[in-house]
Amino acid sequence: MKERISAKSIVEGAFLSAITTVLFLASLYIPLLGTLISFLCPLPIVIICLRHNLKIALLSLTIAFFMISLLAGPFQGLVGLLGFGILGIALGTTIKKKYSLPEILLIGSISSFVAKVLLILIGLWLIDVNPLLLSLDQIEQSLQQSLKFYNDIGLNQEQAEVFRDSILQSLELVKIAFPAILITASFFDTIINYWVAGIILKRIGLYIEPIVPLYKWKASKSFFWSYLLGMLILLINTRLKVPLLERIGVNIQLMFSIIFLFAGLAVVAYVLRYYKVKTIFCWLVYILVFIQPVLSLLVTWIGMFDVWFDFRKTIFSANKENR
63-96 exposure pattern, b = at least 16 Cβ within 10 A, e = fewer: bbbebbbeebeebbbbbbbbbbbbbbbbbbbbbb
Residue 258 has pLDDT above 80, yes or no: yes
What pLDDT is attached to residue 286?
93
Q: 28 or 106: which carries more pLDDT confidence?
A: 106
What pLDDT is attached to residue 134?
52
Residues 6+ apart with CB under 8 A from 181: 174, 254
- From residue 48, alpha-carbon distances to 3, 96, 163, 281 in Å are 16, 10, 48, 36
Helices marked H in 204-278: 221-240, 243-274
Q: 221 or 53: which carries more pLDDT confidence?
A: 221
pLDDT one-digit tens code per residue, 115-165: 888 887 777 676 555 555 555 555 556 556 655 655 555 555 665 566 566
What pLDDT is attached to residue 126?
66
Cβ(255)–Cβ(183) below 8 Å: yes
* Domains of the chain, residue spans: 7-133+180-203, 214-317
Cβ(174)–Cβ(75) below 8 Å: no
CATH number of the domain located at residue range(s) 7-133+180-203 in this protein: 1.10.1760
DSSP state of 40: T
How far is 153 from 321, CA to CA, in rounded Å? Answer: 64
Per-residue pLDDT band for 1 (boundaries 50, 70, 90) equals very low
Q: Tell me how many degrees the CA angle 60-66-21 measures, rounded to the nearest 5.
A: 65
What pLDDT is attached to residue 161?
63
DSSP state of 210: P
How far is 182 from 46, CA to CA, in rounded Å? Answer: 23
Q: Tell me how many degrees the CA angle 205-210-215 measures, rounded to the nearest 5.
A: 145
pLDDT one-digit tens code per residue, 33-53: 777 788 788 888 888 888 888
How far is 320 from 13, CA to CA, in rounded Å? Answer: 48
> Mean pLDDT, to the nearest integer, of 49-75?
86
Length reported for the chain: 323
Q: Return the CA Rg of the chain.
A: 23
Residues 6+ apart with CB under 8 A from 201: 46, 47, 50, 207, 208
Percentages of the chain per state (helix, strand, coil), in multiples of 5: 85, 0, 15
> Mean pLDDT, to the nearest integer, of 300-323?
77
CA-nearest of 295, 233, 239, 303 to 266 is 303
Half-sphere exposure of 223 (CA within 13 A, CB side): 21
Q: What's the whole-number average pLDDT of the chain? A: 81
